[in-house]
Amino acid sequence: MDPAARPYRSVLYIPGSRERAMEKARGLAVDAIIFDLEDAVAIEEKANARKLLAETLAAGGFGTRAQIVRLNGMETAWGPEDLAAIMEVGPQAVLLPKVETAGQVEAVAAQLDAHPACGETEIWAMMETPVGILNALTIAATPRMTGFVMGTNDLAKDLGCRYRPDRLPLQTALQTCLLAARACGLVCIDGVYNAFKDEDGLRAECEQGRDLGMDGKTLIHPAQLAIANEVFAPTEDEIDLARRQITAFEEAEAKGLGVAVVDGKIVENLHIVTAKATLAKAAAMNALD
Nearer to ligand COA, 36 or 215 (CB): 36
Which conformational region is residue 144 in: left (phi greater than 0), alpha (psi within -120 to 50 degrees), or beta?
A: left
- Helix or strand holding residue 131 (H, E): helix 130-134
Which residue type occupies 226? A
| Residue 26 touches which of ligand COA, Mg ion, none (Cβ within 5-8 Å per kind) | none
Phi, psi (5° rounding) for residue 166? -85, -5
**Strands (DSSP E) along the chain, which ranges?**
10-15, 32-36, 66-70, 93-96, 122-127, 145-150, 187-190, 216-219, 260-262, 265-267
Q: How far is the CB of 21 from ligand COA (least distance, A)?
A: 4
Nearer to ligand COA, 63 or 264 (CB): 63
Residues of this chain that interact with ligand COA (CB under 6 A) are: 12-15, 20-21, 24-25, 36, 39-40, 192, 220-222
Q: How far is the CB of 110 from ligand COA (least distance, A)?
A: 27
Nearer to ligand COA, 112 or 214 (CB): 214
Provide the 8-state DSSP code for 45: G
The whole-angstrom separation of Cα 115 and Cα 245 is 48
| Residue 154 touches which of ligand COA, Mg ion, none (Cβ within 5-8 Å per kind) | Mg ion
| Residue 151 touches which of ligand COA, Mg ion, none (Cβ within 5-8 Å per kind) | Mg ion
| Residue 40 touches which of Mg ion, ligand COA, none (Cβ within 5-8 Å per kind) | ligand COA
Residues of this chain that interact with Mg ion (CB under 5 A) are: 128, 151, 154
